[in-house]
Amino acid sequence: MTTNTVAPPSRRRKKSLIQRFLAGPLPWITPMLILILAIVLWPVYEMGRTSVLEISGSGVTKGFAGLENYRELFDNPNLLGAISRTFFWVVTVVAITIFISLFLAQLLNAKFPGRRFVRYALIVPWAASVIMTATSFRWMLDGYYGILNRILLDLGLVEEAIDWMGSAETSLPWLIIVAVFVSLPFTTFVILAGLQTVPGEVYEAAKVDGASARKTYFSITFPLLKTSLFIATVINLINVFNQFPIIWVMTGGGPGYTTDTTTTLMYKLAFRSQEIGQSAALSVVNFGIILIFVLIYIRATGFGKKED
Amino acid sequence: MAKISLRRGAALALTGLLAAGTLAGCAADATTDTGGTTDNGSSASAESTTIRVVAAQYTDDMQPYYDDLVMRFEADNPNINVEVEVVSWNDIDQKIKTMVQTNDLPDIGNLNYFSSFAADGLLYTADELLPAATLDDMVETFIENSKYEGTAYAVPDLASARLFFYNKDIFDAAGLTKADIVTWDGVRAAAEKIKASVPGVTPLALPLGPEEAQAEFLIWAASNNGGYYNNGAWDITSAANVETLEYLQGLVADGLTNPSPATFNRTDGAFALFAQGQVGMLNGAIFLPSVLEEQGSTINYDIAPFPTNRADGTSITLGVQDYFFGFKNEGETNKAAVQAFMSFLFEADNYAGFLEAAGGFLPATKSAGEAMSSDEALAPYIAVLPNAVFYPGAEASWPAVQGETQQTIGLAVAKGADIMSILEGIASKAE
């Protein structure tokens, strides 16, 4: 044993450093590492650095500001509203999306004539640019020209035109509907992919045992969908949290700051209020929140632990 | 640092391209490119400079105008290359600010404010931009508005003024005339009449959406002796401003305006609706007629002075001027080129071309003003200019105040809004 373990190192010593480097995993992952460093870690570093700099309204760096930007940010009267709205927005949109997607995926997994076309049709909101979708909705909901008001008025459901985007009470629900609409295709297809991995024998066995459809779903299908649901939820959480175009196009976070999430508030701080440092501080906070989201979820689902 | 390496990279790439060009037999092209200095024996020692201009897209005619201007300028000044980028109004503010932030400064900027750049010491003074003779020809008020702490750091490129517009057909139907809308009380009475006799139309359009809320508010406030800035100090929470917003709040509450002013923008809201004959009256601008024409509007309209609530009955206009300013670069090596290009642009013929391309604005120079005073469409605006109020554009915190006003002032006219706290929020941005 001892001779065996001693001998190889002596041979290895003869290999040059370069040879050893080339034989290891590093040459294969170096391009990826460089990519990650350049396009992920470097911006994160820049973001953090900007958040502790004093930057004038015109964009000139005036020097180190310490935590001044963060202090100003936490004094900002619009921050608390934006944070609680963001949580409400993310939880609502993701929950509704997952719920509807479960039904849609089940539907698309069933065999019926024309299924292929229904599957194609579901891709449309995904394939269309989000800006385009949001713009269409914005004008469909317009108080003066919107088709929705026309329909409601013609059907006699409302007395006079409603300015849907005029106040947060009416615009926030619509923002959520549009966000769900654009999130559905991806989520549905992830769940559909999950459904298709459930082996047919399991269902046959359940049938033989006389399990009801309901029992089959909750005891077999749903538990086996755990991984797909996990992926769909985490990716949606991140997407919806970072969702900018829908809110920006439809309400611009307005009126005032009443439909802002932390993402749109970040943009407004930089480009409307000329507070670049504060905006960078908020993006660091956003980054922290998204990390927490992901960590909580990973813990809750036990994902990342070794599977049995 | 990044800038230098980028430039060097670009130079290397260019050299590579040129070399390739030569190899491919395009030697003639290559020598003309690099030959500027050799042809011109006298200035052989002078290095050729490139200046970058970021210009505002007043209309689609701006790019052709600059293409022609630059071609003629470069013919006269073979050592100076000019790269003009014409950027839409939606993006230009962010574009220039990003350039400043990444230390990739343009040489000449064209924007509706300049003071925050001046405050950071980035700009040449107006004296450095243009010869004294040209500066003397500028309208004094405009030069006054180009000053930061007593020194002019920008030059006006053009200006606009605003007046009240009304739809004559709607006024006829409601039995109203121009004489009925001289005062605020008159406007309220007129709006009530329109609401009663011409159902379905919006009596008064009140676009306090983010696009142009800072102007809409200032027009109403100044008509009541209010505003952002009075006698050398910020005065945002004044009683006059509160009274103004209360008046507007009353109009909104009685359904005399569009229902949600805070989300109603000028271009796609007020102007579009007016173009369709759905609005009785609104605060318009010198360029509204061209907007109406562009939209193929056939409405029958007229202009009037802004309704006033001032005790002496005087009516104001809002003057808005835009600026050209020159960014210093390290060692100020671009100074001569910037000066040459600015002077060239303000030569009488070139400046007349600029105004024509921009379409329907007021000139910044007296000579051009005289030449255009016979223009019937501009005459009423030139006439009201002596009573013009301006943004406090010389204050370094104006952009932040403007940004906050655009976001929140619309909320102040909503039912039950806390006017004072909104004004205080805006005032907190003024330093």
Using H for helix, E for strand and C for coil, what is the string for B409-425? HHHHHCCCCCHHHHHHH
Cα dist from A118 to A194, A229, B346, whole Å: 18, 22, 63
The strands making up B301-304's β-sheet, listed across from edge to edge, are B202-204, B279-285, B162-167, B301-304
Residue A144 has pLDDT above 50, yes or no: yes
What pLDDT is attached to residue B205?
95
From chain A, the residues in CB contact with B116 under 8 A are: 56-58, 274
Closest CA to B44 of B75, B10, B73, B78: B78
* Fold observed for domain B51-160+321-379: D-Maltodextrin-Binding Protein; domain 2 (3.40.190)
Run of H or E residues at B320: strand B320-326
Question: How many residue pairs bridge chain A and chain B with CB atoms within 8 Å of each other?
Answer: 88
What pLDDT is attached to residue B44?
39
Residue B257 in contact with partner chain A when CB distance is under 8 A: no
Residue of B nearest to A160 (CA): B200
Residue A260 in contact with partner chain B when CB distance is under 8 A: no
Residue A305 has pLDDT above 70, yes or no: no
Check for a shared fold between B51-160+321-379 and B162-318+397-427. yes
For residue A6, the Cα-to-chain-centroid distance in whole angstroms is: 53
Q: Is the peptide bond before A255 cis (omega within 30 degrees of 0)?
A: yes
User: A227 pLDDT band (50/70/90 cuts)?
Assistant: confident
What pLDDT is attached to residue B16?
41
φ/ψ of residue B151, rounded to 5: -120, 135
What pLDDT is attached to residue A12?
52
Residue B375 in contact with partner chain A when CB distance is under 8 A: no
Between these two residues, A199 and B301, which has the higher pLDDT value?
A: B301
How far away is chain A from the Cα of B100, in angstroms, using its nearest Cα? 6
- CA separation for the pair A155, B285 (Å, rounded): 39
Residue A54 in contact with partner chain B when CB distance is under 8 A: no
Three-state SS at A236: helix
From chain A, the residues in CB contact with B407 under 8 A are: 253-254, 256-257, 268, 272-273
Where do the structural domains in chain B lie, given as residue ranges? Answer: 51-160+321-379, 162-318+397-427
> What is the rounded average pLDDT for all residues in chain A?
86
User: A303 pLDDT band (50/70/90 cuts)?
Assistant: low
Decide if A252 and B210 are in contact by the 8 Å CB cutoff. Answer: yes
Whether the CA torsion A96, A98, A101, A103 is positive or negative: it is: negative
User: A2 pLDDT band (50/70/90 cuts)?
Assistant: very low
Residue B375 region, left (φ>0) first, then alpha (ψ -120 to 50), else beta? beta
Residue A21 in contact with partner chain B when CB distance is under 8 A: no
Residue A60 in contact with partner chain B when CB distance is under 8 A: yes
Q: What is the mean pLDDT of residues A109-131?
A: 87
What pLDDT is attached to residue B10?
45
Closest CA to A58 of B2, B240, B103, B378: B103
Q: Find residues 132-151 of chain B whose CB sits inside 8 Å of chain A.
A: none
Residue B79 in contact with partner chain A when CB distance is under 8 A: no
Domains (range + CATH), chain A: 79-259 (1.10.3720.10)
What pLDDT is attached to residue A116?
87
Q: Which of A216-230, A292-306, B194-208 has the highest mean pLDDT?
A: B194-208
From chain B, the residues in CB contact with A47 under 8 A are: none
Residue B230 in contact with partner chain A when CB distance is under 8 A: no
Mark the ranges of chain B whose per-residue pLDDT is less than 70: 1-46
Closest CA to B80 of B331, B340, B345, B354: B340
Residue A81 in contact with partner chain B when CB distance is under 8 A: no
Residue A251 in contact with partner chain B when CB distance is under 8 A: yes
Q: What is the mean pLDDT of residues A251-278?
A: 89
Decide if A58 and B210 are in contact by the 8 Å CB cutoff. Answer: no
What pLDDT is attached to residue B27?
35
- CA separation for the pair B192, B207 (Å, rounded): 19
Tell me the three-class secondary structure of B11-76, residue by residue. HHHHHHHHHHHHHCCCHHHHHHHHCHHHHCHHHCCCCCEEEEEEEECCCCCHHHHHHHHHHHHHHH
Contacts of B20 (CB under 8 A, 6+ apart): none
Pairing of strands B49-56, B80-87: parallel
User: A230 pLDDT band (50/70/90 cuts)?
Assistant: confident
From chain A, the residues in CB contact with B410 under 8 A are: 254-256
Residue A58 in contact with partner chain B when CB distance is under 8 A: yes
Distance spanning both ends of chain B, measured CA to CA: 33
- CA separation for the pair B33, B47 (Å, rounded): 13
- CA separation for the pair A87, A68 (Å, rounded): 26
Residue A277 in contact with partner chain B when CB distance is under 8 A: no
Decide if A254 and B259 are in contact by the 8 Å CB cutoff. Answer: no
Three-state SS at B175: coil
Q: Is the ipTM of this complex over 0.85?
A: no
Whether the CA torsion B41, B46, B50, B53 is positive or negative: it is: negative
From chain B, the residues in CB contact with A143 under 8 A are: 258-260
How far away is chain A from the Cα of B48, in angstroms, using its nearest Cα? 28
Decide if B116 and A274 are in contact by the 8 Å CB cutoff. Answer: yes
Domain B162-318+397-427 has CATH 3.40.50.300: no
